[in-house]
Amino acid sequence: MRTSIIASSLLALAQAFYIPGFSYKAYRDGDTIPLLVNKVYSDYSELQYAFTELPFVCPPTGRIRAGRLTSGTSLNLNLGEVLRGDRIVVSDYELIMGVDEEARYLCSRTIDLDGMHRAKELIREGYVAEWIVDNLPGATSFQTTDKSRKYYAAGFKIGDETKLGPGGPVEYLINNHVTLVIRYRNAPGKDGEKGKKVIVGFEVFPRSITVDGRNESGLPANIEGDHEPLVLVPRANSTNSTGDETQPTTLTIPYTYSVYWREDDRLEWQNRWDMYFAAQDDSANVHWLAILNSLVICGLLTAGLSVVLTRTIRSDIGGLQDAAGTKATPKRKTASPKREKSNLLGPLADLDTENLEVDEDDNEDVAAWKLLHGDVFRAPAYSGLLAPLVGSGMQLLYMTFGLLVLGILGVLNPSFRGGYVSVGVGLFVFAGIFSGYFSARLYKTFGGQMWQKNVVITAAFVPGLLFATVFILNLFVWIQASSTALPFGTLIALVLLWLFVQLPLVYVGSWFGFERMGAYTQPIRPNAIPRQIPEQRWFIRSVRRYLLAGLMPFMVIFVELMFVVKSLWVDKTTYYYAFGFTGIVSALLAVTVVEAALVSTYLLLCLENYHWWWHSFAIGSSSSIWVYAYLIYCYFAKLHISGFLSSTLFFVYGFLACAVYALLTGTIGFLAAYTFVRRIYGTIKVD
């Protein structure tokens, strides 16, 4: 009996648990479905505003109840939703499954001149509203250029501007009537057999209808047909005592809506988001061409790396072996410890050089990079900063890998609103243990002793800079009453998350890495006196080395970056969802960064320069310069962002994104160079 009760309870719990993108909600005819209002946003501004806080819309009254939700209730949001500016509230719009409403009155809102000016400003800047039904954003429908398909763009315009004749004044029309078309089909499985239905589409058609010609209930006499629009700032229509025309100081806006339910069996529930991606499907061939271009670039680098490094190093080692074999007086050989061969260098992994001895005094037979054996593992300048940077880069590397895997598997999808950011923050905080581990071991390798200090720097450097920048920008955004600003409670929660979760994880990882694992064992101990570095070639001294080294990785991601920028800033009403393409391009990017770092490090060593630590990190991160330059180009050539604050947000947030990208790719370049240097110096024993 108990077993059956427990099984029934678990089954009910499983049916009640909703996983966005995997679980569906089924409705019966007559069920009340909540319509959620979220925010308004624009291509011309980085500021978003909560829909219910606008002075010219109908505020929720609490009179509509849909299941457990009452109109006016604010939904609990995850961290990602808060960070993206969502403010989701249950509205007074009443939707009853299967029941059409030709016209229904919502409310009348009287606004003053300030309210009219605010509405006029938002309409002029092209703001659109986001409403939600069954986790689907209300969409404006469009036809493809050949009119063969329909696709959706999330959001709908809150108003329009029109010009009265050539050279005439501009009037602003507010959309005070919406026609809601909700598409549904029978639910899959047993729910469909019971008559339940699922929602597969949500379209919004806004209109502007004048106040004149309405009945006592506030509805137009005939909702269909053409109507005079409702002008937001009407022309003067009265005179004062002196005969001058006066401008109205208030305006009453009646809001109405229509609801139509339409059955649509052409679209399965699990594919209902495809309508939002129909425009992206047209660019699938471009994605594949971009991947082909990336493969060509990566292949050329791979071929060059194989030819240059393999043949050159084999030639160097072959020359050293010949020099060692022609010595008149054999040297005493000391057995070197057996080291595990790395697969990083491909053909070089098979070189048998364990017992090779070369006298450094015989310089004519020694390769240039071989002369640095006593300095190549010398601790770099500012090593106390490099170790935390590499540790934080490892933290980002684990986070990025986790997001890509979850995205490719479909766990992160558009229906999981804010999931990408929420899961990313969670993975980043959890990966603090890896950050502390790698940072502490590298810190001890550089000779550091105060590992507790390194813990604080590692845990606070990157999150601290990000938090400080966002907090300062938030002060300006708060003044604008924008939902883009993070609530004070969210800021406190982030601080507590860092203090009580990430910091302890970094401490545990650092303790284990520093005390238990210890420093990385270097193949060669540095000399007591640093070697003098000869004068370097122009391409090593110049900043152009970083621009040239970063160009190849940038070319690999350029096309995909173009789609990301277009999705985030040009077409804010379109969702970007191409984890498969992103995963492939990310893998090619990592390979390209590794190869660029290896070639650049080898050239540096051949010039007898042992300052490769920071060099490899900078080479790996150098493509971020091109990425930020592309963002600047997009701002002036492609984007419509206007206003000082919006422009500041764009450039600062773009810089932070490029800095995080630089930290990630710089760490990849550093790890590749470190593995490479350990390999080539570890397989050759020098007296």
DSSP state of 274: G
DSSP state of 533: P
Q: How far is CA 658 from CA 288, 562, 649, 652, 653, in A?
A: 25, 15, 14, 10, 9
- The phi, psi pair for 40, rounded to 5°, reads -120, 145
Task: Give the separation between CA 400 and CA 665, rounded to whole angstroms.
Answer: 11
Nearest to 351 by CA among 304, 315, 376: 315
Task: Please report, as a single letter, which amino acid is at residue 552.
Answer: M
Q: Are residues 44 and 184 in the same domain?
A: yes
Whether residue 587 is contained in a domain is answered as yes
Residue 273, pLDDT score: 86
Q: Are residues 555 and 605 in the same domain?
A: yes
Contact between 17 and 23 (Cβ < 8 Å):
yes
Residue 522, pLDDT score: 87
Task: List CB contacts of 500: < 8 A, sequence separation 6 or more.
Answer: none
Mean pLDDT: which of 359-373, 450-464, 540-554 is highest?
A: 450-464
Q: Are residues 259 and 289 in the same domain?
A: no
Q: Which domain holds residue 174?
A: 21-234+248-272
Nearest to 300 by CA among 552, 536, 60, 494: 552
Whether residue 611 is contained in a domain is answered as yes
Q: How far is CA 480 from CA 22, 49, 595, in A?
A: 38, 9, 47
| Cβ burial, residue 48 (10 Å; 0-12/13-18/19+) | buried
Whether residue 397 is contained in a domain is answered as yes
Whether residue 473 is contained in a domain is answered as yes
Q: How many domains does the chain have?
A: 3
Whether residue 608 is contained in a domain is answered as yes
The whole-model pTM stands at 0.85
Whether residue 8 is contained in a domain is answered as no
Percent of the chain at pLDDT > 90 equals 49
**pLDDT greater than 90 at residue 599:** no
Q: Are residues 80 and 214 in the same domain?
A: yes
DSSP state of 566: I
Please compute the mean of the pLDDT values over residues 627-652 and round it to a whole number.
Answer: 92
**Joined tokens for residue 40:** 């308004």
Please compute the mean of the pLDDT values over residues 608-625 and round it to a whole number.
Answer: 93
Whether residue 340 is contained in a domain is answered as no
Q: Are residues 282 and 301 in the same domain?
A: yes
**pLDDT greater than 70 at residue 547:** yes
**pLDDT greater than 90 at residue 22:** no
Element (H, E) at 167: none
Q: Are residues 500 and 549 in the same domain?
A: no
pLDDT band at 420 (very low <50, low <70, confident <90, very high): confident
DSSP state of 18: -
With tokens 């210890």, the residue in question is 518
**Joined tokens for residue 415:** 């229906």
**Joined tokens for residue 383:** 């090593």
Q: What is the pLDDT of residues 337-351, one digit of tens each?
A: 443 444 434 444 444
pLDDT band at 571 (very low <50, low <70, confident <90, very high): low
Q: Are residues 31 and 176 in the same domain?
A: yes
Q: Are residues 217 and 295 in the same domain?
A: no
**Joined tokens for residue 142:** 């469009």
Please compute the mean of the pLDDT values over residues 510-535 and round it to a whole number.
Answer: 86
Residue 10, pLDDT score: 34
Whether residue 72 is contained in a domain is answered as yes
Q: Are residues 281 and 268 in the same domain?
A: no
pLDDT band at 679 (very low <50, low <70, confident <90, very high): confident
Q: What is the pLDDT of residues 38-86, one digit of tens each?
A: 999 998 899 999 999 999 999 998 888 877 889 999 999 999 899 888 9
Please compute the mean of the pLDDT values over residues 209-224 and round it to a whole number.
Answer: 84
Please compute the mean of the pLDDT values over residues 92-96 and round it to a whole number.
Answer: 94
Angle between helix axes 503-511 and 432-445 (nearest 10 degrees) is 40
Q: Are residues 555 and 406 in the same domain?
A: no
Q: Are residues 267 and 297 in the same domain?
A: no
Task: Give the separation between CA 348 and CA 656, rounded to whole angstroms.
Answer: 39
Task: List CB contacts of 312: < 8 A, sequence separation 6 or more.
Answer: 602
